[in-house]
Structure 1
């Protein structure tokens, strides 16, 4: 740490030196200092040292609280105790929210069952059930007006043929595969060898735990009979808690996933896409002979989702960063499937939900943009002469 602080100090001294040279030579501040300063700030060592120093200073106590009289500190303790009571009330609020989720889940269920029937061709929707305006209706109406004005026999035959095309297609093929591939965080998980299996996916359901001590949920993936595994349902259990942590009660921000558990997939022989066989040559040190060894290693696959990493009891705080990142990503995916994909599956199938997500992201990017990230050296349209042509008062601002 001392070494890093020393580098940061040296960096500051170098910046000061540049400023002194500018004053002595009387040169233009922009033209003289910019190249040296830009080069200095691009130094990885300098950036690392400065960043580490900033991280060290961030959140450091100012000494104000410590300097307060004991009577004031005593009152602060009273406020913290009130804050703890507020956190407990907030936890009760989220428990009631969970009870409402369980209540309304039973009301959503019949609608989602009908959705499954349409997707899997178990039921053909009636004309009344299909009475919903589409974005193409205006274009279809315009086309119909043109056809009414000019009736061509060959054209009518072609139209009739087009209407009859696909009459043998049942349900909505590849519905859930399309939904998943339209969502970036899921599409990254799907490999080519996963697609034939996901084409057999008929439905995805969310089951909420009604046990008060566990506000978790279960994701259920229903598959038709297929050539890859014998399971008809694959499950993913998420355990949640909604109460302040005794060790850090003021960090409570609502329900959080604390554990997830997958299920065993009963793969048919030679059909397990989550593993692959590789051959490696090994050379004997003494004899100099070689042999080929076959090893089975993990393969990239969407179905690794059902084999999440496990954390031994009592070792949550000692998790390494890689494991913690994997679990965080898994929790995010589970939440997204539960809160967004299952309730709005058809909108992710058509892409309408994606448009709304993209609009939100773009607004966030505009708000978070930082002028300090602009690199004039990398801008092909940047004209350094434009700075020198500015009025004198602009340079002084």
Structure 2
């Protein structure tokens, strides 16, 4: 902002210089100033500097509240107390919503259990259970010329051949791995060495906390017997609260996750993908000799999700910014798995849910700027240095 003020100051100084020069040449002071000023204000650099200064002033307090009489300020305090009471009522509303989630979770459970049975080949669905129009059938109904272009007999034979070729395939292979890889925030976490393990994932469930005065949920990941760890279930506990913060009560916007806790993974020998061994050379300062030291460090892996960073009790306000960002990202992923992925897993598997998400994002982008154009100057998170660090092929995309 100092740069913006400096530019604005320089602009004013430039105007003074133009006026002084024209006065020394004997011109009429009344007539010479406007042309010089108009020309200067047409400069993009000057306009940008002035706009930055105006943007800065826009958010500055006007002093109106401070100028009000004491009796009016007293009434404002009454309004704030009412606002606080409203926030407490809102908190109770969300607690009841959580109770409803717990109630309806039991109704979803039988459906999700059937989904698991189909995915894992524990049960083959009946013809009645499979009575749902496929995308191909919809296209055939919409296109009246399909039957003229394709011979029905040949199509049936091809379909029968395909069915016979896949007769030995059980369930839906790679169901949850495909779901996770189709979701950008999860696919970024998945490494090549994670995929064989996630292929063993059979189900993901959400269990809501039904303990009175406690809000939260547990994500449960069910695995078949595998060569990597002995656990059959991996869990992630999220603790939530729905009450205004005493130190900042008006920031309340609904339930928020305040803590998460993972679980211990009992890795089989040599199968822990969350760590890797590196060799590092060390040089002795006195003798000048070198030695090779083997060190175990953390490795990028989806399964680090079950070892979230912890915040000591009472130190929430003094959290490091990096730690706070990690926790925020972890909370966002937990919410997304609970609210979107588990209830609509098949739609993320087919990609239909992704299309709906894209449509929603596009609508939001149109509201940000005219004609949907990106304005880097209006983006507070824009970092010009990041562009210079991108490979050439990325810049051309």
State the TM bucket, normalised to the shorter chain: 0.7 to 0.9
Q: Contact 2:207/2:219 (CA < 8 Å) preserved in 1?
A: yes
Q: 1:103 to 1:70 in 2, by over 3 A?
A: same
1:225 match: secondary structure = coil
Q: Given the superposition, is the C-alpha separation of residues 277 and 83 from structure 1 closer, same or farther in structure 2, using an over 3 Å criterion?
A: same
Instruction: State whether residues 365 and 372 of structure 2, in contact with CA within 8 Å, keep that contact through their aligned partners in structure 1.
Output: no
The C-alpha deviation readout for 1:86-121, integer Å capped at 9, x for no partner, is 111101100110100000000000000000000000
Query: Following TM superposition, by how much is the alpha carbon of 1:256 offset from its aligned partner in structure 2, in angstroms?
Result: 0.4
The Cα shift of 1:16 comes to: 8.3
- Report the CA distance shift for 1:100/1:161 in structure 2 as closer, same or farther (over 3 A): same
CA deviation after TM superposition for structure 1 residue 284, in Å = 1.1
Q: Deviations over 1:132-157 (max 9, x none)?
A: 11111145679999889998999876
CA–CA distance in 1 between the matches of 2:48 and 2:231? Answer: 51
Shift of 1:160: 3.5
Q: Once structures 1 and 2 are overlaid, which stretch shifts more, 1-10 or 378-387?
A: 378-387
Do 2:366 and 2:372's aligned partners in 1 also have CA atoms closer than 8 Å? no
In 2 relative to 1, CA 3–393 (structure 1 residues): closer, same or farther, beyond 3 Å?
Answer: closer
Name the CA shift for 1:382/1:331 in 2 (closer, same or farther; >3 Å): closer
More off after superposition, 94-103 vs 362-371: 362-371
Name the TM-score, length of structure 1 as normaliser.
Answer: 0.80
Contact 1:213 1:241 in 2 (8 A): no
Contact 2:19 2:32 in 1 (8 A): no
State the partner residue of 1:47: 47
Q: 1:227 aligns to what? A: 227
Q: Which has the higher mean CA deviation after the structures are superposed, 279-288 or 100-109?
A: 279-288
Q: Deviations over 1:312-357 (max 9, x none)?
A: 1111111121111111100000000000000000000000000000
The whole-number CA distance in structure 2 between the counterparts of 1:115 and 1:155 is 30
TM-score of the aligned structures, taking structure 2 as reference length: 0.80
Displacement of 1:61 in angstroms is: 2.8
Contact 1:231/1:265 (<8 A) preserved: yes
Q: Distance in 2 between matches of 1:195 and 1:89?
A: 46
> Would the alpha carbon gap of residues 242 and 393 (structure 1) be closer, same or farther in structure 2, given more than 3 Å must change?
closer
Inter-CA distance 169–145: structure 2 relative to 1 (3 Å threshold): farther
Distance 1:164 1:2 in 2: 72
- Contact 1:348/1:354, CA 8 A, preserved across alignment: yes
Tell me the residue number matched to 2:317.
Answer: 317
Within 2, Cα distance between the matches of 1:342 and 1:107?
A: 14
Q: Distance in 2 between matches of 1:322 and 1:35?
A: 53
Single out whichever of 137-146 and 87-96 deviates more from structure 2. Answer: 137-146
Task: Indicate conservation of the 8 Å contact 1:203/1:223, yes or no.
Answer: yes
- How far has the Cα of 1:225 moved from its partner? 0.4
In structure 2, do the counterparts of structure 1 residues 340 and 381 end up closer, same or farther at CA, with 3 Å as the change threshold? Answer: closer
- Corresponding residue for residue 343 of structure 2: 343
Instruction: Tell me the number of residue pairs that the alignment of Structure 1 and Structure 2 aligns.
Output: 397
Q: Give the Cα–Cα distance (whole angstroms) in 1 for the partners of residues 384 and 18 of structure 2.
A: 20
Matched-pair contact (CA < 8 Å) for 1:229–1:267: yes
> Any idea what the Cα deviations from partners look like across 1:332-386, whole Å, max 9, x if unmatched?
0000000000000000000000000001111111221268988999999999999
C-alpha contact (below 8 Å) 1:214/1:241 kept by paired residues: yes
CA distance in structure 2 between the partners assigned to 1:390 and 1:330 by the alignment: 26
- SS of corresponding position for 1:270: coil
Alpha carbons of 1:380 and 1:350: their partners in 2 closer, same or farther (altered >3 Å)?
A: closer
Aligned in 2, Cα 1:345/1:16: closer, same or farther, shift over 3 Å? farther
Larger mean CA deviation between 219-228 and 314-323 belongs to 314-323
| 341-350 or 280-289, larger mean C-alpha shift | 280-289
- For structure 1, the 5+ residue unaligned runs are none
What is the root-mean-square deviation in Å for CA atoms of aligned residues? 9.3
Q: CA deviation at 1:212?
A: 3.1
Give the whole-Å Cα distance in 1 for the aligned partners of 2:96 and 2:390. Answer: 63
Residues 143-178 of structure 1: CA deviation (Å, up to 9, x unaligned): 999889998999876554323111010000000000
| 8 Å CA contact 1:121, 1:172 repeated in 2 | yes
Q: Any stretches of 5+ residues in structure 2 without a counterpart?
A: none
Question: 1:36-90, CA deviations, whole angstroms, 9 ceiling, x for partnerless residues?
Answer: 9999999999999999988975754321111111111111111111111111110
